[in-house]
Each structure stands twice: as C-alpha cells, then as structure tokens.
C-alpha cells in the first residue's frame, strides 16, 4: 500500500540537537548530580522522556532538575540547533507532493515548535504531537495513534521515521511502517536490532522509498 502519511521524530532525526541536549544535561547534572557524568553516560539519557532520565540521577529533585534543564535548553536553541543534511529540501518536496506530514516528539510542543522555526520548517507539518499532548510517550503507540486520528490517516499507509529505538518500537506498536536514520547518535545497530522496514542513509533516501523520485 502506498505511503500517504509520514510522521517524524524531531531531535536527532530532522534537527541536530545532540550538542544542545548534552550541554543541557551537563548544566543540570553539575547542579544536581551526585558526581561527574561522562559524555557516554549522558548519551544514554537521549531519547527517553526527560523525567525518566533525571529520575535516575536524583529522584528527590526531579521537578527542579526538569526546570533547570528546560530553561537551559530553550535559552540555547539558537546557538546549537540546525537541520541535518538534505532534511529541509526533502520535507519541502514531500509537502509539494501532497503527503500528510506530522511531528511526533517527546519534547514539549513549544520547544519543538522553536526548533522547527529556527530551521525554517515551521510551515511544513500538518500536526505536532508533543509530550504535553499525550498521557504516554513513545514507545507507547499513543502519540502515533493520536497523530493518525487527528489527521484522519490510515495506519496501513503511515510511516514513522526516527533516530531512536523508541520511535521504531512505537511504530511497531501502532501498526505503521518504520524507518530508522543511520545518523543516529545512538549507533545504527541499536535501530537495526529493532527491525525497521527501512534504514535511511540520508533523509533524501525517503523520496525514493515513497515514490517521489
């Protein structure tokens, strides 16, 4: 069945926020952590909802830590955030070709919108489902199913594209096609172990997969 709806994760998939996320975690852990955390340890925090990652550091001060993280992250977006190669052109071509497109992210909606605006993609998506729009984050299927429902899309003609195994699992759980991105900071093997239908070497690969070129 031909793909008609494409849902994208945001951080690590469309926009490169890795250094911003690492800087925001480092800033927060310096204030609230019980020790110095290595870059490798911080990389493990990328992907899951913020609350789950920070609970592991200091369960008694999670709310304060989330506030510190979000304030730093929002304030430093302009400094760090950029779109990955071929992303903006690919999104424009998909939009022009009539695909329904949405963002499904574990970020809060306002911060996600800021990232889209900085990279010039704020007018390209039909829907944005953020962490504050759902009760259950990925890998639970709720965010994907909510996007499908609001777009009046068909799961059989929908694809979820992401850089984290949570994205692939959520796609499987929602019954949609899945595509992993090879530029994930997590290493492509983690994605391949979760059996995505496709693996993108760069975002423009998607055009061929969905029949645009």
* All domains in the chain, ordered by first residue: 5-16+82-209 (3.40.50.1000), 18-79 (1.10.150.240)
Q: Please identify which of the residues 9, 11, 163, 167 carries the catalytic annotation.
A: 9
Cis amide prior to 139 (ω within 30 degrees): yes
- What percentage of the chain carries pLDDT values higher than 90? 95
Which pLDDT does position 25 carry in this prediction?
96
pLDDT band, residue 76 (cuts 50/70/90): very high
The rounded distance, in Å, linking the Cα atoms of 201 and 80 is 23
Which letter does DSSP use for residue 161 in this model?
Answer: E
* Segment among 10-14, 62-66, 185-189 with least mean pLDDT: 185-189
pLDDT exceeds cutoff 80 at 213: no
Residues 6+ apart with CB under 8 A from 175: 141, 155, 156
pLDDT band, residue 48 (cuts 50/70/90): confident
- The dihedral sign for the CA sequence 93, 98, 99, 104: positive
Q: Model pTM? A: 0.93
Question: Residue 21, Cβ neighbours under 10 Å: how many?
Answer: 23
* Segment among 15-29, 41-55, 119-133 with least mean pLDDT: 41-55
Burial profile 67-97: b = 16 or more Cβ within 10 angstroms, e = fewer? ebbbebbeebbeebbebbebbbebbebbbee
Question: What six digits make up the tokens of 87?
Answer: 């992303």
- In whole angstroms, how far apart are CA 17 and each of 73, 100, 137, 157? 10, 24, 19, 29
Residue 11 is a catalytic residue: no
Q: What average pLDDT score do residues 32-57 get?
A: 91
The rounded distance, in Å, linking the Cα atoms of 143 and 133 is 8
pLDDT exceeds cutoff 80 at 154: yes
């Amino acid at each position: 069945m031909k793909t008609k709806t494409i849902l994208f994760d945001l951080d690590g998939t469309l926009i490169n926020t890795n250094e911003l996320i690492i800087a925001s975690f480092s800033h927060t852990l310096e204030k609230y952590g019980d020790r110095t955390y290595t870059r490798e340890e911080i990389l493990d925090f990328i992907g899951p909802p913020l609350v789950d990652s920070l609970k592991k550091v200091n369960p008694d001060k999670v709310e304060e830590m989330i506030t510190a993280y979000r304030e730093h992250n929002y304030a430093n977006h302009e400094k760090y955030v950029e779109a990955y190669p071929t992303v903006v052109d690919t999104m424009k071509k998909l939009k022009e070709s009539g695909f329904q497109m949405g963002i499904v992210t574990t970020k809060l909606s306002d911060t996600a919108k800021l990232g889209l605006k900085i990279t010039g993609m704020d007018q390209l998506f039909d829907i944005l489902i953020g962490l504050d729009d759902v009760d259950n984050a990925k890998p639970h299927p709720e965010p994907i199913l909510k996007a499908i429902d609001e777009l009046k899309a068909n799961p059989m003609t929908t694809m979820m594209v992401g850089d984290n195994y949570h994205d692939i699992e959520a796609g499987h759980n929602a019954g949609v096609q899945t595509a992993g991105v090879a530029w994930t900071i997590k290493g492509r093997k983690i994605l391949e172990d979760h059996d995505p239908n496709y693996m993108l070497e760069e975002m423009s690969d998607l055009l061929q997969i969905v029949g645009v070129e």
